[in-house]
Amino acid sequence: MAVPGRLASVYSELQTSRLDVSLPLPSVLKKSFNVVDGPPSSAAGNPEEIAKLFPNLFGQPSAKFVPGDSGESAGKTLRIGVVLSGGQAPGGHNVISGMFDYLQERTSGSTMFGFMGGPAGIMNCKYVELSSQFVYPYRNQGGFDMIRSGRDKIETPEQFKQAEETAKKLDLDGLVVIGGDDSNTNACLLAENFRGKNVKTRVIGCPKTIDGDLKSKEVPTSFGFDTACKIYAEMIGNVMTDARSTGKYYHFVRLMGRAASHITLECSLQTHPNITIIGEEVAAKKQTLKSVTDYITDIICKRSEQGFNYGVILIPEGLIDFIPEVQQLISELNEILAHDVVDEAGAWKKKLRSQSMELFEFLPQAIQEQLLLERDPHGNVQVAKIETEKMLIEMVETELDKRHREGKYNGQFKGQSHFFGYEGRCGLPTNFDSNYCYALGYAAGALLHSGKTGLISSVGNLSAPVEEWTVGGTALTSLMDVERRHGKFKPVIKKAMVELEGAPFKKFQSMRDDWALKNRYVCPGPVQFIGPTANDINYTLKLELGVQA
Amino acid sequence: MAVPGRLASVYSELQTSRLDVSLPLPSVLKKSFNVVDGPPSSAAGNPEEIAKLFPNLFGQPSAKFVPGDSGESAGKTLRIGVVLSGGQAPGGHNVISGMFDYLQERTSGSTMFGFMGGPAGIMNCKYVELSSQFVYPYRNQGGFDMIRSGRDKIETPEQFKQAEETAKKLDLDGLVVIGGDDSNTNACLLAENFRGKNVKTRVIGCPKTIDGDLKSKEVPTSFGFDTACKIYAEMIGNVMTDARSTGKYYHFVRLMGRAASHITLECSLQTHPNITIIGEEVAAKKQTLKSVTDYITDIICKRSEQGFNYGVILIPEGLIDFIPEVQQLISELNEILAHDVVDEAGAWKKKLRSQSMELFEFLPQAIQEQLLLERDPHGNVQVAKIETEKMLIEMVETELDKRHREGKYNGQFKGQSHFFGYEGRCGLPTNFDSNYCYALGYAAGALLHSGKTGLISSVGNLSAPVEEWTVGGTALTSLMDVERRHGKFKPVIKKAMVELEGAPFKKFQSMRDDWALKNRYVCPGPVQFIGPTANDINYTLKLELGVQA
């Protein structure tokens, strides 16, 4: 079987130096342990519907590893598969390394398969058998290129059938699905399916996404978020120093993160920009594009009065999706463009409702074009591709011109746009993500070894030294609610959005007015692997864990 | 006097940890030293014209510090000014710290002035008196915000007069100009002017620019280049890992660097992209936009045949300025647009020569618009603002479509564009830039103390440990040639462009075909300040110094 390119590549000195860094384990995983089950679980919402959808798994307790001497599994060898699902996140390779090392150390003689290219690899039975030699070069390295990833889903009866065939063909005892909310939902459906059909293969999930929107009480964070935020914050801090040195640019920085604004909020806490737009707040306050523009423009005017004609503004990737009037416009556009051709004369526009038409006309031309052209294969607008940062620059410029003519603003405004996305998804994982992922993977191996299924690997107490981290598994069904689609209930792990009552937002809220007018810029600098800052964890996690006020 | 914002800002842990890192000095600067003059110097070109332009300074020898016990200046106190000129480069604060420490340690009781906001600060006599307390927070920090920078020039008789008044008012013994080629040329003119008028103020330059195009035999590199390239290379390496993991994007990365392609070449040597365009080669081979597009498209097609529908392509900021036909088009456009209005009907276009018209029509529409709209206050096209990366994506797409229709290409192509610029100019300086700048500044202080003027601070033997670095000053006139402008000879320090016969390009040339089709991606990772990679220097410097083949 062809093996992807990592082995053909050349390592930098830093990559090489990271290879042999030893990965600490939580102390409970270092010796023999027992699994203790908690009380029966429920669901995040609509438990009776979840119970119907998962008759074999609903109500499973959380599992917790505690020191002990359970000999029950001793001597058992396992055949385990692993798959990476969805977008890259730093640390994925360490989850696999952790699983691999668990099997090596605790179930000698076991076999591990890496399914290639995401869930499609399971369905098509495309895999590579993992060996020490194969896994080793990926330790502490970024990317998902060891076995690559994919966005296919296993959700139809035919697809379940294919997965079952692979599970039987390889005689799999277990499968670990490393993915985001959707992938973990599907992992649970697969676990339910296998259990229902008496297939022995158990399924364990792992919380992956740089977006930070897969988390719960027992799963304090998704891996990759820490690294991605630190990489973006390095760049933002640099741009801030540049803004202050040059004194003449407003940098509009759009940050990856899909629907949720966790990345933007975390980067804001790390760097103290003058303005940060949090999508969840925009939605809660039912703000319009005009009111967001005015909010930015007001601060720019006040700063100008203080002599500052520069600044840094953070914008979440998903911003326009949070603005009710824009959602309305986009949904009308999707509807119209599914049937109509965009004629030069603009006859199609007349089908827009008057409010939407007004908004459309209010948008800069480039954005109008993006709304018409950037469409996915289903004909829907690809919101993530809309260059919101450029749109806001243009809209702010227009508003400033107006105020200038009215004698209300007399500054200079030059906007510079940035989008930080791909740069952060595949960076070398921070020490935190390296260690967290290794523990997640090791725990996933242990959960499968204990016969668990339908759980997501859960590592907690993350603000303490690694030795003191808690380890266990959480029932995936306990994270679920249902959504009604096409008249049917569909299980979903609800995306964890930024909570306006949560500690990270509260902290930001208490400081943003100060940051707006004073220049409290912080330059976090590049991620360090050695030295006094090497083991820092991100603010979101610290604040949510209550270890920082 | 108002002090800019650094003191109001909050430091990250890493910034704080960098403050107290001790800065090593070349051993010759640690004890008493003598200055040894070399033989008389000449000029980089047209020595007789340079001699006429610099009657008082031409022919000055280089100065070299050697261990010794020269007591001549002992006890003398100095009044010294410093100014930052032009774009930011990591390390500028350390040049100032080095000067400051020299004065503190060797000329106790001296006074140092920081001119605010670049050369304008000299002309307007806007300055801050530097104290330990004021300088300390900037040690090893990025940016130029301690005294900010500016792009004004001191070049007319009135401006020289203003500078002279400031020099006299502050009773300046010396002035250090930290800048690029233009700023150092002007520094030398100022030195000449002062000398000619018997003003006691001496002037010393320091080589600053991330672009890497200010260098000579005695000035091996300009500061900031090392840090900026490493920051860009971190991002490029991450994007490469992403490309390989995802398997579906071609990332077109445009890199800052103005006219020269040093940054692009260095980043290429650090990361091994599939395609790197070097402007100097494009110019030497008189390539057209079509031939550059074909070169890229050919490699994309070959890679597709091997199953790789992804890749990374580096493009220098100044690319289109290197293409003769584009230069011709731009110069015609500048001429036409200075007089004509761009009418919708396109009558203005008829004034283009047919070849230029053809090229204009060949360009993607967005680029046509940028050529017409992105103009500086003089009405000239701002080449650096043209989004060449997006232009090439469109042109490659068009060519691939054509080949697809002809049955010559059957792959998938998705372009992603990036521009890395501001992110690198103000990063925390690497250990190399921190140490190099500190030595440059310390040496500048020593040169002024020794009574030198019209020299540029020169630190050599840079591949050896700092202790073994050589230190001295090089006659600025020796770096100069003349250009004829408006019928007059004007002195210029010739930009050091990428030499196609130089070691860095040769190295790249010997490897690029391998990188094109195989995936030899290297991920340099974030700059480290501690650990095995912390003191690495860049490839360009290593190759030019002959310490790496």
Longest Cα–Cα distance in chain A: 82
Q: What share of chain B is helix, strand, coil (3-state, %, to 5)?
A: 45, 15, 40
What is the tens place of the pLDDT at every residue in B232-276? 999 999 999 999 998 999 999 999 988 899 999 999 999 999 999
Mutate which: B236, B245, B254, vs A, most A CBs within 10 A: B245
Both tokens of residue B361? Answer: 């029509």
A193: region left, alpha or beta (phi > 0 left; psi from -120 to 50 alpha): alpha
User: Could A528 and B526 be called an inter-chain contact, meaning their C-beta atoms sit closer than 8 Å?
Assistant: yes
% of chain B beyond a pLDDT of 90: 84
Q: Which residue of B lies nearest to A521 if distances are taken between CA atoms?
A: B9
Both tokens of residue A463? Answer: 């603000």
pLDDT score, position A448: 97
Both tokens of residue B247? Answer: 């398997």
Contact B403, B391 (CB under 8 A): no
| Mean pLDDT confidence for B500-522 | 97
| Mean pLDDT confidence for B468-474 | 98
The model carries a pTM of 0.95
pLDDT beyond 60 at B6: no
pLDDT beyond 90 at B334: no
DSSP designation for A76: -
B140: region left, alpha or beta (phi > 0 left; psi from -120 to 50 alpha): left
Cα separation, A256 vs A319, whole angstroms: 11
Predicted ipTM? Answer: 0.94
Q: Which residue of A lies nearest to B227 if distances are taken between CA atoms?
A: A526
Confidence of residue A2 (pLDDT cuts 50, 70, 90): very low
Rg of chain A (C-alpha set): 25
pLDDT beyond 70 at B219: yes
pLDDT beyond 70 at B71: no
> Which residues does chain B have within 8 Å of residue A231's beta carbon, measured at their own beta carbons?
238, 526
Contact A242, B422 (CB under 8 A): yes
What is the tens place of the pLDDT at every residue in B149-168? 999 999 899 999 999 999 99
Annotated binding site of B for diphosphate: 87
User: Could B17 and A533 be called an inter-chain contact, meaning their C-beta atoms sit closer than 8 Å?
Assistant: yes
pLDDT score, position B194: 97
Could you say which of B145, B211, B226, B433 is catalytic?
B211
Look at B194 and A381; give whichever has higher pLDDT. Answer: B194
Confidence of residue A4 (pLDDT cuts 50, 70, 90): very low
Confidence of residue A3 (pLDDT cuts 50, 70, 90): very low
What is the tens place of the pLDDT at every residue in A398-419? 999 999 999 999 999 999 999 9
Distances in whole angstroms, Cα of residue A201 to Cα of each of A24, A167, A198: 29, 7, 9
Which of B185, B154, B212 has its CA nearest to residue B480? B185
Secondary structure class of A145 (helix, strand, coil): coil
| Mean pLDDT confidence for A26-34 | 94
What is the tens place of the pLDDT at every residue in A190-231? 999 999 999 999 999 999 999 999 999 999 999 999 999 999
DSSP designation for A7: G
**Which candidate from B239, B245, B521 shows the least CB-CB separation from A144?**
B245
Q: Residue B444 — φ and ψ, nearest 5°?
A: -60, -40
Contact B478, B44 (CB under 8 A): yes
* Number of Cβ atoms within 10 Å of the Cβ of A71: 8
Confidence of residue A9 (pLDDT cuts 50, 70, 90): low
The per-type count for chain A, helices as H runs and strands as E runs, is 21, 16
Which of A170, A75, A183, A176 has its CA nearest to residue A129? A170
Confidence of residue B72 (pLDDT cuts 50, 70, 90): low
What is the tens place of the pLDDT at every residue in B267-298? 999 999 999 999 999 999 999 999 999 999 99
Distances in whole angstroms, Cα of residue B408 to Cα of each of B301, B304, B411: 8, 11, 10
For the stretch A428-458, what's the b/e string if a residue is b when 16 or more beta carbons lie within 10 angstroms of its beta carbon? Answer: bbbbbbbbbbbbbbbbbbbbbbbebbbbbbb
> Which residues does chain A have within 8 Å of residue B425's beta carbon, measured at their own beta carbons?
238, 242
Contacts of B71 (CB under 8 A, 6+ apart): B32
User: Could A426 and B270 be called an inter-chain contact, meaning their C-beta atoms sit closer than 8 Å?
Assistant: no
Full DSSP string of A470-513: EEEEEEGGGGEEEEEETTEEEEEEPP-PPPTTSHHHHHHHHHHH
- Strand pairing report for B455-460 and B470-475: antiparallel
pLDDT score, position B8: 54
A86: region left, alpha or beta (phi > 0 left; psi from -120 to 50 alpha): left
pLDDT beyond 50 at B1: no
Contact A274, A311 (CB under 8 A): yes
**Residue with structure tokens 């610029």?**
B421
pLDDT score, position B336: 85
User: Could A531 and B241 be called an inter-chain contact, meaning their C-beta atoms sit closer than 8 Å?
Assistant: no
Give the relative orientation of helices A289-305 and A354-362 as an angle to the nearest 10 degrees: 40
pLDDT beyond 50 at A1: no
What is the tens place of the pLDDT at every residue in B182-202? 999 999 999 999 999 999 999
**Residue with structure tokens 């509807």?**
A335
Name the burial class of residue B327, with classes exposed (0-12), middle (13-18) and buried (19+) by CB atoms within 10 angstroms of its CB.
Answer: middle
Position A32, amino acid: S
- Our answer to whether residue B211 is catalytic in this structure is yes
Full DSSP string of B134-148: HHGGGTT--SSTTT-
**Does residue A484 have a known ligand-binding role?**
no
pLDDT score, position A5: 46
Cα separation, A453 vs B180, whole angstroms: 64
> Which residues does chain B have within 8 Å of residue A531's beta carbon, measured at their own beta carbons?
17, 529-531
Residues in chain B, how many?
549
Distances in whole angstroms, Cα of residue B533 to Cα of each of A7, A429, B333, B527: 22, 17, 48, 8
**Which candidate from A8, A527, A530 shows the least CB-CB separation from B519?**
A8
Enumerate the β-bridge partners of residue A81: A113, A175
Cα separation, A324 vs A111, whole angstroms: 51
Confidence of residue B69 (pLDDT cuts 50, 70, 90): confident
User: Could B422 and A245 be called an inter-chain contact, meaning their C-beta atoms sit closer than 8 Å?
Assistant: no
**Does residue A423 have a known ligand-binding role?**
yes
Contact A245, B143 (CB under 8 A): yes
What is the tens place of the pLDDT at every residue in A95-111? 999 999 999 999 999 99
pLDDT score, position B346: 77
pLDDT score, position B5: 46
Contacts of B93 (CB under 8 A, 6+ apart): B138, B139, B140, B141, B142, B143, B144, B146, B437
User: Could A238 and B5 be called an inter-chain contact, meaning their C-beta atoms sit closer than 8 Å?
Assistant: no
User: Could A11 and B522 be called an inter-chain contact, meaning their C-beta atoms sit closer than 8 Å?
Assistant: yes
> Which residues does chain A have within 8 Å of residue B528's beta carbon, measured at their own beta carbons?
14, 526, 528-530
pLDDT beyond 90 at A502: yes
Q: Which residue of A lies nearest to B250 if distances are taken between CA atoms?
A: A422
What is the tens place of the pLDDT at every residue in A164-194? 999 999 999 999 999 999 999 999 999 999 9
**Residue with structure tokens 């080449």?**
B383
pLDDT beyond 60 at B4: no
| Mean pLDDT confidence for B101-120 | 96
Q: What share of chain A is helix, strand, coil (3-state, %, to 5)?
A: 45, 15, 40
Give, rounded to a whole angstrom, the gap between the first and last alpha carbons of chain B: 52
Residues of A serving a catalytic function are: 211
pLDDT score, position A520: 95
Average pLDDT, chain A: 93
pLDDT score, position B10: 85
Task: Enumerate long-range contacts of B473-476, CB under 8 Å, 24 or more apart.
Answer: B473/B62, B473/B63, B473/B204, B473/B443, B473/B447, B474/B41, B474/B62, B474/B216, B474/B218, B474/B219, B475/B41, B475/B57, B475/B59, B475/B60, B475/B61, B475/B62, B476/B57, B476/B184, B476/B185, B476/B187, B476/B188, B476/B191, B476/B205
**Which candidate from B239, B418, B426 shows the least CB-CB separation from A241?**
B426
> Which residues does chain A have within 8 Å of residue B530's beta carbon, measured at their own beta carbons?
528, 530-531
Strands (E), A445-479: 455-460, 470-475
Position B517, amino acid: L
